[in-house]
Amino acid sequence: MEQRRRDSSRAPGCLLALLLWNVAWAQVRYSTSEEMNEGTLVGNIAKDLGLDKNTLRERKYRIVSSNADSLFHVNQNDGVLYVSKKIDREEVCAQSSTCLISLKTVLENPLEVHYVEVEIQDVNDNSPSFPEKEAVLEISESVLPGARIQLQAARDPDSGHFSVQQYKLSQNDHFRLEVKDKRDSGKIPILVVQKSLDRETAERHSLLLTASDGGKPPKSGQMNILVNVLDINDNAPVFIKDVYSVMLDENVPVGTTVIHVNATDLDEGPNGEVVYSFPNSMNQRLLKLFDINQSTGEILVKGLIDYEENEEYEIEIRATDKGLAPLATEKSVIIKIVDVNDNAPEIDVTSFSSSIPEDSRPGTTVALISVNDMDSGLNGKVICVVNEDVPFTLSPSIKDKTYSLVTKSHLDREKQSKYDVTIVAKDAGKPPLSSEKTISVVISDVNDNSPVFSLSPYTFYVTEANEPGTSVFSVKALDDDDNDNALITYHILRSEDTVSSFLNINSETGDIVALKSFDFETLKTFQFQVVATDSGTPSLSNNVTVNVFILDQNDNAPVILYPLSSNGSAEGVEEIPRNVNAGHLVTKVRAYDADIGYNGWLLFSLQEVTDHSLFGLDRYTGQIRTLRSFTETDEAEHKLVILVKDNGNVSLSATATVVVKVVEPKEAFAASDVKSPAKDDDSNVTFYLMITLGSVSALFIISIIVLIAMQCSKTPDYTSKYLEDKNYDGTLCHSIQYRSGDKRYMLVGPRMSIGSTIVPGSHANTLVLPDRRRRSEEVRIMHTVIIMPCSESDIFPNIYCQYIVDYAMLN
């Protein structure tokens, strides 16, 4: 408590002056602090006004000013002024620097007004305070040091020294504080950026601003300042990895992920959002192969990756942020392509001789082959083989991946003229790929084969009386060679022999033309040689013997040898005695036929006769005999017309006329004497013919019997070689066995001319040779023609017999 009498320290004279003046002004002034408890003594008014206790009691002293009424009261008894309730200076006086409360007091009887002034003295009862507990500041990271941001000032209701005296900022590298003193609004704090801000280092800063007053001790107030650093796009995206390298199989499907690249951007928001792309400068070819997902950074396969085209790709990728002024980074991605066995080997025939001569030596090169596989490593390693069994092989060349196809063995065009050689190339990949190539090798001909006749020797049967100039037979030779080497020309080997001179051969066809007609009766068989020559260089030739047998035709009519009249006609007169007995030989008609066999076998028949009962004609011999004795009634002269016919298919005939005159015995005797020599001659011929034919038949039958007997009794020794036996005695109708090679033949019997009952083609003339070693043997009928003299008789040495012979061939 402080009591102050305003003028108590002054002289008493001055006090009086004050008392006079105090009707209008305060006469007493006190001072007290704010916030004093109720009942705190402020001052003794009675004493200061000079009033004693009695006066006070009589005149009633009181405070009349209404507003201050509640703040103070005066004790009526002693005139002391007390605080009636707590006074808040800031409330009563607001902001004014001195706070004076004026009290109007009255003293009655008489009314006296006294003004008392109470000065309320300030006490530091308020702390500085900020309008907000927390201030949020947003500062771009781009602000330069020195930038200033004015903050809100703190307020302190206390006045004077007790108001805000200073500010303080918490310890901080980036900011400092400046305080500006403005007269009317006090001290204002200013935040100064002292070091540049980096959002990426510190996104926000928290500061504490403290304001303190000048009290003792000082009171203070605080405010949090939150500085948010605003991002600017100051960071480019950064790829996470330094090097991107990846292996990629070739031929991977479109859409396969190659690699995932990832870039980060420290910036915030769009400034930190990264998009991926290929730079604009990127090769168009690469753009067709790869794609990038711009949001994920995935590199994808877009086209066909071919190792053979490129083994490695280096592609640039770019990461860009989405800032207003975007920042970008580029990076290389190395993509190594891994080879896959996707290429089959390729076979190339670099040189090829389409045909090689068949006499080429083994090892002759036919073709040069190069093999290529686009793959690398094992996938490109190729092995080449010839698959089939052909006389060719592959031999590797000095040059890599080149082979020569060479002959392995001797070639023979006649066996095989063309080879399709399949070459298989296979690589060593897994799984292996292979390819094939077929080369057609043609073997060209060399004249290494002579012409070969289809038969050797040739045997031809030509009927006589052929038409001159026509082809009678033909020979044919074949040559296994080709073209000219097989082109055959024929010629007849001319010899001294004249026969070949009337034969001509067509040099191309081998057809043989007879320039004249053959006559069996003059020439029965002949032989010549034909040479076949091919057109190769040098040419080769071969010859063949041709045996020709002329076959008889019935081209000769029987010729009557007897009877013959003097003028040449076949007429004769026979005289016989009347007394001859039956069976008397009247005469014998003799005839001759130049043909052989059936064509020359003559049969006689009576064509005309006056009396059939009187004469008989032997069919075979031509003998005319009486059948009975003559009687008186018989005519004296008889005419007999005898028909002589050969046995040709179309038979030819001649007639003879015999006139038989029956004479008395004497006449007859005389007549026979004259003609006997001729008659003997005739019967001789007939006799020999008979003998021949008879013996042939008899021998044939005997032979068969003997043969059968022999076969049954012992194992025969078939050593005779009938057909080769030049000393054959001419006996025809033997049954002959012979051996040729390891086959046994048996000539069973000729198809005999006269009286033969054997039918050609039937099995009647075949025999089975019983053999003890073999139980039953099959017999094959062979058929041939043998021409030889009819008999050993030299009467008709030029008469030949043609026998068609069947013989059995036993297997």
Ligand X SMILES: *[C@@H]1O[C@H](CO)[C@@H](O)[C@H](O)[C@H]1NC(C)=O
Range in contact with ligand X (rule: CB under 6 A) among 258-266, 309-317, 634-642, 703-711: 258-266
Asked if residue 31 binds ligand X (CB under 6 A), the reply is no
Using DSSP, state whether 574 is helix, strand or coil: strand
The single residue among 295, 354, 605, 720 that binds ligand X, judged by CB under 6 A, is 295
**Maximum distance among all Cα pairs of the chain, rounded to whole angstroms:** 266
Angle at CA of residue 756, ends 752 and 761, nearest 5° = 80
* Structural contact between residues 477 and 465, judged by C-beta atoms closer than 8 angstroms: no
- Spatial distance between the Cα atoms of 562 and 587, rounded to a whole number of angstroms: 9
| Closest approach of ligand X to the CB of residue 284, in Å | 19
Q: Among residues 457 and 770, whose Cβ is nearest to ligand X?
A: 457
Choose the stretch contacting ligand X; rule: CB under 6 A; options: 130-138, 290-298, 382-390, 419-427. Answer: 290-298
Q: Are 527 and 518 in contact (CB under 8 A)?
A: no
Supply 50's token pair: 């000079």
Minimum distance of ligand X from residue 686's CB (angstroms): 25
Q: Which stretch binds ligand X (CB under 6 A): 293-301, 517-525, 555-563, 773-781?
A: 293-301
Nearest approach, Cβ of residue 649 and ligand X (Å): 3
Rounded least distance, CB 243 to ligand X, Å: 16
Site track for ligand X across 522-541, x = CB under 6 A = ---------x----------
**How far is residue 286's CA from residue 333's CA, in Å, rounded to a whole number?**
12
Closest CB to ligand X among residues 493, 706: 493
Interface residue with ligand X among 144, 324, 650, 712 (CB under 6 A) is 650
Contact 378, 427 (CB under 8 A): yes
Number of residues that bind ligand X (CB under 6 A): 16
Q: Least distance from C-beta 305 to ligand X, angstroms?
A: 19
CB of 462 to ligand X, least distance (A): 15
Nearer to ligand X, 443 or 654 (CB): 654
Q: Please identify, among the stretches 109-117, 291-299, 785-793, 797-805, the one whose residues bind ligand X according to the rule CB under 6 A.
A: 291-299
- The alpha carbon of residue 790 and the mean position of all alpha carbons in its chain are separated, in whole angstroms, by 82
**Helix, strand or coil, per DSSP, at residue 491:** strand
Binding mask 362-401 for ligand X (x = CB under 6 A): ----------------------------------------
First to last CA, the chain: 177
In sequence order, the 6+-apart residues with CB closer than 8 A to the CB of 331 are 239, 244, 261, 263, 316, 317, 318, 319
> Please, are residues 110 and 76 in contact by the beta-carbon 8 Å criterion?
no
Cβ at position 260, least distance to ligand X in Å? 6
The beta strands (E) that lie in 255-297 are given as 257-260, 263-264, 274-277, 290-292
Asked if 276 contacts 318 with a C-beta cutoff of 8 angstroms, the reply is yes
Q: What phi and psi, each to the nearest 5 degrees, are found at residue 7?
A: -115, 15
Residue with tokens 């070689």: 721
Task: Give yes or no for residue 565 binding ligand X (CB under 6 A).
Answer: yes
Per-residue contact flags (x/-) with ligand X for residues 137 to 176, judged by CB under 6 A: ----------------------------------------
Which residue's structure tokens are 């005839």? 591
296 touches ligand X by CB under 6 A: yes
Please answer whether residues 521 and 559 qualify as being in contact, where contact means their C-beta atoms are separated by less than 8 angstroms: no
Label residue 257 left, alpha or beta by phi (over 0 means left) and psi (-120 to 50 means alpha): beta
Pattern 480-519, binding to ligand X, x per CB under 6 A?
-------------x--------------------------
Q: Residue 337 Cβ, how far from ligand X at the closest point, in Å?
A: 23
Nearer to ligand X, 528 or 630 (CB): 528
Q: Identify which range of 9-17, 288-296, 600-608, 685-693 contacts ligand X by CB under 6 A.
A: 288-296
Give the count of beta carbons closer than 10 Å to the beta carbon of residue 305: 24
**Residue from the set 262, 435, 535, 610 that interacts with ligand X by CB under 6 A:** 262
- Taking the complex as a whole, how short is the minimal distance between the CB of residue 317 and ligand X, in angstroms? 14
In whole angstroms, what is the distance from residue 469 CA to residue 515 CA? 5
Q: Which helix (H) or strand (E) holds 46?
A: helix 45-49
CB of 762 to ligand X, least distance (A): 15
Q: Which stretch binds ligand X (CB under 6 A): 23-31, 414-422, 510-518, 566-574?
A: 566-574
Six-digit token string for 543: 């010859």
Burial 47-76, CB ≥16 within 10 A → b, else e:
ebbebeeeebeeeebebebeebeebbbbee
In terms of Cα–Cα distance, which of 798, 713, 793, 791 is closest to 752? 791
Q: Give the nearer residue to ligand X in terms of CB position, either 457 or 755.
A: 457
Residues 568 to 587 in contact with ligand X, rule: CB under 6 A: 569, 571
* Footprint of ligand X on 538-557 (CB under 6 A): 543
Closest to ligand X by CB, 12 or 255: 255
Among 14, 240, 385, 764, binds ligand X (CB under 6 A): 240
Q: Smallest distance, Å, CB 487 to ligand X?
A: 19
Question: By C-alpha distance, which of 753, 755, 764, 762 is closest to 788?
Answer: 753
| Token pair recorded at residue 363 | 């090892």
In this chain, which stretch among 509-517, 520-528, 565-573, 794-802 interacts with ligand X, using CB under 6 A?
565-573
**Kind of pairing, strands 263-264 and 355-357?**
unpaired
In this complex, which beta carbon is closest to ligand X, that of residue 172 or of residue 277?
277
In angstroms, the CA 91 to CA 809 distance is: 169
For residue 672, the surrounding DSSP H or E stretch is helix 665-713
Identify which of residues 470 and 565 has a Cβ nearer to ligand X in the complex.
565
**List of residues 6+ apart from 286 with CB closer than 8 A:** 278, 313, 315
* Per-position x/- string for 190-229, each x denoting binding to ligand X as judged by CB under 6 A, each - no binding: ----------------------------------------
Binding site residues, ligand X, CB under 6 A: 240, 260, 262, 264, 293, 295-296, 493, 531, 543, 565, 567, 569, 571, 649-650
